[in-house]
Amino acid sequence: MFQSNTKSFLQFILLILLQVFLLNNVNLFGFLNPYIYLLFLITYRFDNNPTLLILIGFLMGFLLDLLSHGAGGHMIASLAIAFLRPYIIQFSFGVNSDISMGMVRGTSLSNRLLYLVLMVFIHHLILFIVVYFNLKSISIIFKYTLITSIFSFILLWISLGFFKTRHD
Amino acid sequence: MRQIFNALLKYKNTSLFLGLLFISFLIVNQRSFYHKSVFSAIGLGISSNLYGVSKGISDYFNLKKINADLVKENNKLKALEIIYFQNQILKQKTLDTFNFEVTSAKIIKNSFNKANNYLIINKGYEDGVMEDMGVISTDGVIGIVNETRAHHSSVISILHQEIKINVSFKKNGAYGSLVWPGIHPKKMILDDISIINSVSVGDTIVTGGMSAYFPFGIPIGVVSKFVQPKTEGYYQIEVDLFSNLTQKEFAYVIKNKDLDEIKKLTGDVSK
């Protein structure tokens, strides 16, 4: 237990540093930054305390906004995705939602894909809504959400592969 | 009590989420100027509509008194009209050279008991009201327009500690700035009057022509007390306002036709 907590803590710090100092400077096509820090919220064990995850999500977004001088988009988006995660798990895995490492093994590929797509898309949608915060820019919000979601998805899928081999 | 705790425990994730979301919005409001302006615009929209409803109800009971006031004002205007027709040609010339336009408005929310006070009036940008216009009443200055919506605007009252109004003495034109120390809604402080000018209790204070917000010569108040310092170069003057800002119903918004030009000259177009 202690070991897994330490591991999670290191993962948390590592992902934030990676996001702020490496991926926020990618600027693909001038504006695209994939958001790798979602990996923590995605791979958090399904049987761990969901209340704790809400606090962690809030803290993670808050630190990201502090370090990257954001207004608060990451804070609200990761808080919301941490709160919505149990419902997304329920929706995408159905009866298999009690498999604790369901996002990397033990479930069918389509379920895992659905889970990842929903997590990434909802998170990015909330993020861009908060950043633009204006009904008039709804088209640009959807455009950025879609394109950034695709890149984040690819990156997260690859990282999940590493996760699987490391834990096996 | 126990049921409340049980309900809180049952919905602990939801309540934690809503609590943290609220905190997040507070932080966003603090950190980002853009989000702050969006929030304040939404707040102004909601509060102006609510105050409009409650004002409509309370106005119904004040109709009698307002009618009496209107009759009085009509009598005054009638007299003025007669004089006006007598001097029509002369007046027209004066109006053409006068650089300010006047729009009437109604105050639907007034405050005077805070350190920094705001009002809401029922005219917005669709009625030609824009930011930085001056607002006066029948017997004095009320404030400066701060933010406008389609049919409502918020006005920074002169009872606001960060606002300074350019004023001058009626008798000799010495000018200074009027600020509110934040205590009594009829008492203001007049700064920057040099001791080379003579001041006595009872002198009338009018708006000065140095600001782009108000035309010269609107009466504001009288000097009630002053201290002549021995060493420093400026008087400490206390002014009693003519107008009672705690009982205002109607206001007039003043538009300076040359405001854009003046702003360009002072390099303040960005605002």
pLDDT computed for residue B96 by the predictor: 61
Long-range CB contacts (within 8 A, 24+) of A158-165:
A159/A36, A159/A39, A160/A39, A160/A42, A160/A43, A160/A103, A160/A104, A160/A116, A163/A39, A163/A43, A163/A104, A164/A104, A164/A105
Residue A69 reports pLDDT greater than 70:
yes
CA distance B269 to B135: 21
SS3 B133: coil
Chain B residues touching A50 at Cβ < 8 A: 13
Structure-token pair, residue A102: 């369901």
pLDDT computed for residue B88 by the predictor: 61
Residue B271 reports pLDDT greater than 50:
no
Residues 6+ apart with CB under 8 A from B133: B144, B145, B213, B253, B254, B255, B256, B259
Which residues in A have their CB inside 8 Å of a CB on B?
50-51, 54-55, 58, 61-62, 65, 71-72, 75-76, 79-80, 83, 86, 130, 133-134
Instruction: Report how far apart the first and last C-alpha atoms of chain B are (Å, whole number).
Output: 53
Residue B270 reports pLDDT greater than 50:
no
pLDDT computed for residue A119 by the predictor: 92
Q: Which residue has the higher pLDDT, A164 or A104?
A: A104
pLDDT computed for residue A168 by the predictor: 45
How many CB atoms are located within 10 Å of the residue B39 CB? Answer: 15
Contact B35 A65 (CB under 8 A): no
* Separation in Å, CA A118 to CA A105, A121, A122, A162: 18, 5, 6, 21
Cβ atoms of B220 and B178 closer than 8 Å: yes
Number of domains in chain A: 1
Q: Which residue has the higher pLDDT, B215 or B21?
A: B21
Note the pLDDT tens digit of each residue in B22-47. Answer: 999 888 888 888 888 888 888 888 88
Q: What is the CATH number of the domain that holds A8?
A: 1.10.1760
CA distance B15 to B96: 63
Structure-token pair, residue B121: 């009036």
Q: Which residue has the higher pLDDT, A23 or B98?
A: A23
**The model's pTM:** 0.55
pLDDT confidence of A57, banded at 50, 70, 90?
very high
Give the up-direction half-sphere exposure of residue B257: CA atoms within 13 A in the CB hemisphere: 8
User: Across residues B50-70, what is the average pLDDT?
Assistant: 84
User: Across residues B101-128, what is the average pLDDT?
Assistant: 84
DSSP B204-228: EEEE-TTSSSS-TT-EEEEEEEEE-
Chain B residues touching A66 at Cβ < 8 A: none
Q: B29: distance to nearest CA of chain A, Å?
A: 8
> Residue B66: phi, psi to the nearest 5?
-65, -40
Domain of residue A107, residue span: 2-167
Q: Which of A119-133, B79-93, B106-120, B154-168 has the lowest mean pLDDT?
A: B79-93
Side chain identity at B119, as an amino acid letter?
L
